Amino acid sequence: MNIAMIRAAMERSVGLVRETPLLSAPGLDEIAGRRVLVKAECLQWTGSFKFRGGWAAVTALEPAVRARGVLAISSGNHAQGVAMAARLLGVPAVIVMPEDAPRAKIEGTRALRGEVVLYRRATEDRDAIGARLAEERGLTLIRPFDDAEVIAGQGTCGIEIARQARAEGITRADVLVCCGGGGLSAGIALALAAEAPQMRVRTVEPEGFDDMARSLRSGRPERNPRLSGTICDAIMTPEPGRLTLPVLAELAGPGIAVTDGEALRAMAVAARHLKLVLEPGGAVALAAALFHPGEAAGDAVICVASGGNVDPEVLARALRE
Amino acid sequence: MNIAMIRAAMERSVGLVRETPLLSAPGLDEIAGRRVLVKAECLQWTGSFKFRGGWAAVTALEPAVRARGVLAISSGNHAQGVAMAARLLGVPAVIVMPEDAPRAKIEGTRALRGEVVLYRRATEDRDAIGARLAEERGLTLIRPFDDAEVIAGQGTCGIEIARQARAEGITRADVLVCCGGGGLSAGIALALAAEAPQMRVRTVEPEGFDDMARSLRSGRPERNPRLSGTICDAIMTPEPGRLTLPVLAELAGPGIAVTDGEALRAMAVAARHLKLVLEPGGAVALAAALFHPGEAAGDAVICVASGGNVDPEVLARALRE
């Protein structure tokens, strides 16, 4: 991965990937005690940044390979990103999803005409299911973060951040990014290194699932002890990506962890002050900006609101809190 | 009012009024049976389009007059628009609000450092309170819609719609606008007449409070029989504006009315498919696009999501429905 790949992905994205706004509100600045800018990736097609990587990866395939179709293994946002890219390109998409994925994400994937294959987390091997389907139908697997083209696609978000922040008069700031496997964080870090070298990515994860923060601290890949027990389903990954960790080890600052309660409160703040619907995993970076002000440096902080595909009950719960 | 005033307001707005995105989602198109584009004015500063008119009106005042301060009489969104404009210009803002206004709006106005004066709808005369305050303190009253500069400011939204729709390949469409006194509708109608003459404004109101639709039908100002009984507080006005009705009688198509239930369902759809928080009065245009498809013409319909300042309980209720 390098900036040339990100720029190439950006060129393939013109008119298709949405340039999402960098939003702000006086109410946020008051809570955080500094200027807060929110990159509203929940307004991206499919409701999360994942369309960027899906589009970049599917458009990078050779036409004959692409025509046979693509496969994604995902509990939700990556599924929708790949399904939307495939739909726009008129190629088949098969999505392997856990049967307990948020309903909004299963329905969203089906609405995009993705063929959803459900599996049981406890008893079935999703990778084996995916491998069988890929083999049988000649599908190409699009990985959610350990794929150079996917990371390049997510990096287009970083190019926009650099440009939009400059227009706001900001060239030096921590950029807080919701982090699962690290594809978005690594892509943005690579983009900022080239386009806004005084900005630094800070990964944000749920407490107890901060494999990336611990890996950045120890210098080697650390696994999460558990794979359930947070409402931040979108960013609950077993361990950092093989491609993403080295990038972040070189370019990112220390990782930050927030509680589920803070993520829910950030969702309520986003609804009230920004009129944005966020999902828990898409709200952790804002939660860090609002409720962990001591952990980020500078007069302004930028955070990526990475997705908004939340079941209505969970949003209603956040609004009550 | 004329297009020159709107263009002048646009020039005074550069870098201050936010250009809000024109959003879409496959899920909306499916419900409506045609292409739907949503002008997300809930993402405007203060959470509604009202900042456009407030900014235009306050910046149009003579500096010496402006310095003494401004006054608004408003149950909410206009209050916040004027308070934010005054705050940015460093002049006092006094806002007369009913004590039963949505809490989100009272708190929002206070957070913007507006001085809030509450009155009882049943027993007190808000206009008398306003007149006394204006007299005592030398404040200038900024009317919510019957003011040429306010209408010109709202018209800047129409200039953006014309430009953004063109970029999407749309030059002919009905533009559905949430309508209270008609300031936004009239401003957009004037802007479109100059910038996109094949687009036509359609006002949308709550059933039972469709004074504008009835006035457009009868050709003279019609009053609403009641002044309470809809959740669409933002657009519950006694009668059309004196300045706005003639503009709309000349330029707009027939008005549309939707039920409170449809407004709530549109809020749920906006949260799910667009990741936007809308208030009931800000969702009626989307409700018309989704649930009254026969009442608008064309292959595509544009609707203005005019505001998102909703109490969390009301949003939670919409999500349950």
Q: In degrees to the nearest 10, what's the CA dihedral of A246, A248, A254, A258? A: -110
The percent of residues above 90 in pLDDT, for chain A, comes to 88
> Measured between alpha carbons, how far is B268 from B286 in angstroms, rounded to an integer?
11
pLDDT tops 90 at residue B264? yes
A120-153 pLDDT per residue, tens: 988 999 999 999 999 999 999 999 999 999 999 9
Burial bucket for residue A64 (CB in 10 Å: 0-12, 13-18, 19+):
exposed
pLDDT of residue A216: 98
pLDDT for B46-89, tens place per residue?
999 999 999 999 999 999 999 999 999 987 899 999 999 999 99
Strand B256-258 to B115-119 pairing: unpaired
Q: B259 pLDDT band (50/70/90 cuts)? A: very high
The residue among A292, A243, A238 whose CA lies nearest residue A265 is A292
Share of chain B residues as helix, strand and coil, in percent rounded to the nearest 5: 50, 15, 30
**Strands lying side by side in the sheet with A93-98:** A115-119, A93-98, A70-73, A140-141
* Final residue before a domain boundary, out of A141, A176, A199: A141
Compare A118 and B321 and report the one with higher pLDDT: A118
Q: For chain A, percent helix, then strand, then coil, each to nearest 5?
A: 50, 15, 30
Residues in chain B closer than 8 A to A76 (CB atoms): none
In whole angstroms, give the CA distance from residue A29 to residue A33: 6
CB contact under 8 A, A277 and B278: no
Let me know whether A201 and A115 are in one domain: no
Angle at B237 between CA B276 and CA B320, to 5 degrees: 35
Out of B25, B273, B319, closest to residue A316 by CB:
B319
> Which residue would you say has higher pLDDT here, B104 or B161?
B161
Cβ distance B36 to B124 under 8 Å? no
pLDDT of residue B103: 85
Average the pLDDT over B85-95 and give the result.
96
The confidence score (pLDDT) of residue A138 equals 96
Structural tokens at position A167: 């227009």
- Is there a contact between B111 and A45 if contact means CB atoms under 8 Å apart? no
- Contact in structure between A1 and A243 (CB atoms under 8 Å): yes
A274–B contact, CB cutoff 8 A: yes
* A208 plus A297 within the same structural domain: yes
Shared domain check, A177 and A264: yes
- Put simply, the answer to whether A275 touches B45 (Cβ < 8 Å) is no
Q: Tokens 């359930």 — which residue? A: A228
Name which of B26, B275, B315 is nearest A111 (Cβ-Cβ): B26
Judge whether residue B119 has pLDDT over 90: yes
Residues A19 and A131 in one domain: no
Q: How far apart are CA B235 and CA B240, in angstroms?
A: 11
Count how many domains chain A has. 2
Which of these, B312, B315, B308, lies nearest to B276 by C-alpha position? B308
B210: exposed, middle or buried (C-beta count within 10 Å: 0-12, 13-18, 19+)? buried
CA distance A241 to B35: 39
Residues B260/B228, Cβ–Cβ less than 8 Å: no
Residue A88 has pLDDT above 90, yes or no: yes
The predicted pLDDT at position B4 comes to 97
Exposure letters A95-126 (e unless 16+ CB within 10 A, then b)? bbbbeebbebbbbbbbbbebbbeebeeeeeeb
Reported as type and span, the H/E element at residue A213 is: helix A211-218
CB contact under 8 A, B315 and A271: yes
Residue B206 Rama label (left phi>0; alpha psi -120 to 50; beta): beta
Of B268, B272, B312, the CB nearest to A268: B312
A168-171 long-range contacts, CB within 8 A, separation 24+:
A168/A22, A168/A37, A170/A35, A170/A37, A170/A300, A170/A302, A171/A196, A171/A198, A171/A199
B271 interface with A at CB cutoff 8 Å:
yes
Interval B208-246: pLDDT, tens = 999 999 999 999 999 999 888 999 988 988 999 999 999
Q: Name the residue type at position A80.
A: Q
Nearest to A266 by CA among A232, A221, A238: A232
Query: Long-range contacts: A259-264, Cβ < 8 Å, 24+?
Result: A259/A206, A259/A207, A260/A206, A260/A207, A260/A230, A260/A231, A260/A232, A261/A321, A262/A287, A262/A288, A262/A290, A262/A291, A262/A292, A263/A206, A263/A231, A263/A232, A263/A287, A264/A231, A264/A317, A264/A318, A264/A321
Residue B239's CB is within 10 A of a number of other CB atoms, namely 16
* Residue B289 pLDDT > 90: yes
**Are A112 and A161 in a shared domain?**
no
pLDDT at A27: 92
The answer to whether B277 contacts chain A (CB < 8 Å) is yes
Q: Over range A291-308, report the average pLDDT.
A: 95
Residue A45 and residue A56 in one domain: no
Chain B CB contacts of A28 below 8 Å: none
Could you tell me if the ipTM is greater than 0.90?
Answer: yes
One domain, residues B131 and B266 = no
Q: Are residues B106 and B22 in the same domain?
A: no
Last residue of a domain, one of B82, B117, B141: B141
* Tokens, residue A44: 């991206």
Chain B segment 93-132 residues within 8 A of A by beta carbon are 104, 108, 111-112
CATH of the domain at B85: 3.40.50.1100
User: What is the distance in angstroms between the Cα of B80 and the nearest Cα belonging to chain A?
Assistant: 12
Tell me the residues of chain A between 28 and 67 that have a Cβ less than 8 Å away from chain B.
30, 40, 42-43, 45, 47
Residues A173 and A275 in one domain: yes
Nearest-angstrom CA–CA distance, B257 and A47: 30
Cβ atoms of B71 and B115 within 8 Å: the answer is no
Nearest Cβ partner of A315 from B271, B273, B276? B271
* Domain co-membership, A233 together with A185: yes
Same domain, A55 and A128: yes
Nearest to A21 by CA among B41, B57, B26: B41
> CB-based contact (8 Å) between A319 and chain B?
yes
Query: Which domain range does residue B63 map to?
Result: 51-141
Q: Of B108, B278, B319, which has the smallest distance from its Cβ to A312's Cβ?
A: B319
User: Is the predicted pLDDT of residue A108 greater than 90, yes or no?
Assistant: no
Chain A contacts of B308, Cβ < 8 Å?
A: 275
CB of B267 within 8 A of CB of B278?
yes
Q: Would the pLDDT of B104 be above 90? A: no
Burial class (CB in 10 A: 0-12, 13-18, 19+), B68: middle
Q: What is the pTM of this model?
A: 0.95
Residues B164 and B249 occupy one common structural domain: yes
- For residues A253 and A97, what is the distance between their CA atoms, to the nearest angstrom? 33
Return the residue of A nearest to B321 by Cα.
A312
End of a domain among B141, B173, B194? B141
The string of pLDDT tens digits covering residues A241-293 is: 999 999 999 999 999 999 999 999 999 999 999 999 999 999 999 999 999 99
